[in-house]
Structure 1
Amino acid sequence: MSIWELLAVFAAGIGAGTINTIVGSGTLITFPVLLATGLPPVTATVSNALGLIPGSISGAIGYREELKGQRPLILRLGVASAIGGLAGAVLLLMLPPTAFETIVPVLVALALVLVVLQPRISAAVQRRRERTGTPTKADGGPVLFGGLLLASVYGGYFTAAQGIIYLSLMGMLLDDTLQRLNAVKNVLAAIVNTIAALFFLFVADFDWTAVLLIAVGSAIGGQLGAKIGRRLPAPALRVFIVVVGVFAIVQLLLR
């Protein structure tokens, strides 16, 4: 890589770490930059997954206040994330690169609709529970576990907009604030990235230079994202999620 390519990858890592912590889709910043440096698509995907681990951990640390009291939920959903992340990593090496290109924009669009409508849907669900006397499940039940398992399969495969899908699922099925759900999202994303990366270390090619640059950049970005994201009120955070999600859909359709 030239000095300008090195700087571009580092800057992309900062941007990805920041965006991932606030909402997700940071891969849409780093992946095109890695391709522009001449890396093959699979090598770029693997290098990106390895490099974003410090960013995910950094973002989760930045949201540590919002994580208080959520250990049981994280342990349960973390199992789904780990299994799904490993499955997605295996699929990356087995399926053709275009396997997810058709379905992913549809998934992201659906997730955005759920994010926008989440307050109204949650209120309607709560009213129905009050009428029927059905208690709210603190962990979201098997529906959330299964949904996050499938979302994590996609996350282990590519990761772009994974956080948006997580937030939409948890927002529908858990009775908690968007900021606390975002904190959980960061931990689950870190689990998926780590599990997938450990698998890639042994079976796939990657570029150590790209990994190190993205790792340092994303760690810095994770802290920046936490400082910005935690200050956003729920409506502003919701708008930011939608804006990033629409951009993600456009980018995925143009690939």
Structure 2
Amino acid sequence: MTDLFSMDLQAYQYVLIVLAGIFTGIINTLAGSGSLITLPIFVFMCGLPADVANGTNRVGAFLQSGVGFYAFSRSGGAGTLKGSLWLVLPAVAGAIPGSLIAAQMNERMMNLAIGILMVIMLGVLLVDPKRWLRESAATSSRNKKPWIILIFFLIGVYGGFIQAGIGIFLMASLVLAAHYSLSASTGVKLIIVFLLNIPTLIIFFAYNQIHFGFGLLMAVCQSVGAVLGVRFATKVPNANTWIHRLLILIVIISASKFLYEWASG
């Protein structure tokens, strides 16, 4: 990919991408795992190679988490950041080898990797780990154990390799392993995703695997979708349930397509 901004598509394709981006923003707000939608969009609708789609996907994730991180800090979350560095730093460190592995993988193997990871994420979605999460009164300072640090390093490796589903793994680990409260976990998750994507973006940019045109367009559309998602959640009964079911269907279709591309490549 030599041109980082060229978007040579038909008018109807732009319309579909904008609508898909808005829909992804809604999904991110209500159910999370929006990257499970954007990756197939970049590959099958925008025509990007799987490796470039993986890098391009980080633009929206970086901008969205950055806005969330800023809002969290403005609301008094700076103290949470200072107390969470023991988790943030290993996650960011893990993102470096994860990104390097992804950046050096050829397109066919990336199709296979994304397909397999989508199958795994399908299992996670079906189990729905969020229902296990309960508010905890424990403080993280009592739980600074080496195995927890290792978990967050491995999550960082995963996040560097592929963005999809990292929020679910972070929330589960923060609440169940590190014993953060649900509210604090949300803030720490934003911090980790934001900082983790800094070295990741640098690495993918160095390997010429980011299409900023599609990445920025998707980021703007996702932001609009996030606003609509909040309104949707307050006006539509059982919105989360319907979004969750639709996300499962989309992941099944996308995983099948990625694995087909690998098998036929």
TM-score scaled by length of structure 1: 0.74
Contact 1:47–1:207, Cα closer than 8 Å, also in 2:
yes
1:40 is matched with 49
1:135-194 residue CA offsets vs partner (Å, 9 max, x unmatched): 964455322221121122111112111100111111102333323212211221112222
- Range that drifts further, 187-196 or 211-220: 211-220
2:245 & 2:71 partners in 1: Cα distance? 23
Q: Which of the numbers 92, 116, 132 marks the counterpart of 1:117?
A: 132
1:230 & 1:86 partners in 2: Cα distance? 36
2:61 is matched with 52
Query: Structure 2 counterpart of 1:102, which letter?
Result: I
2:31 & 2:245 partners in 1: Cα distance? 10
Contact 1:52–1:214, Cα closer than 8 Å, also in 2:
no
1:184 is matched with 188
Give the 3 Å change call, closer, same or farther, for CA 104–137 of structure 1 in structure 2: farther
Contact 1:54–1:219, Cα closer than 8 Å, also in 2:
no
1:9 is matched with 17
1:84 is matched with 94
Matched ranges for 1:1-255 at <5 A: 1-20=9-28, 24-35=32-43, 36-64=45-73, 65=75, 67-95=77-105, 96-97=109-110, 98-99=112-113, 101-102=115-116, 105-106=119-120, 109=123, 112=127, 114-119=129-134, 137-138=141-142, 140-221=144-225, 246=248, 250=252, 253-254=255-256, 255=258
2:263 is matched with none
1:177 & 1:241 partners in 2: Cα distance? 25
1:48-68 residue CA offsets vs partner (Å, 9 max, x unmatched): 212331112123334443735
- Range that drifts further, 17-26 or 46-55: 17-26
CA deviation after TM superposition for structure 1 residue 108, in Å: 6.5
1:137 & 1:247 partners in 2: Cα distance? 40
1:130 is matched with none
CA deviation after TM superposition for structure 1 residue 13, in Å: 3.5
What secondary structure sits across from 1:99 in the alignment? helix
Root-mean-square deviation (CA, aligned residues, Å) is: 3.7
CA deviation after TM superposition for structure 1 residue 110, in Å: 5.4
1:65-124 residue CA offsets vs partner (Å, 9 max, x unmatched): 37353022332222122112222211112332123643564466458565333439x79x
CA deviation after TM superposition for structure 1 residue 18, in Å: 4.7
Q: What percent identity do the matched residue pairs reach?
A: 22
- Range that drifts further, 15-24 or 43-52: 15-24
Query: Structure 2 counterpart of 1:80, which letter?
Result: P
2:262 is matched with none
2:82 & 2:150 partners in 1: Cα distance? 17
Give the 3 Å change call, closer, same or farther, for CA 92–107 of structure 1 in structure 2: same
1:138 & 1:23 partners in 2: Cα distance? 30
Aligned residues: 239
Q: Which runs of 5+ in 1 are unaligned?
A: 127-134
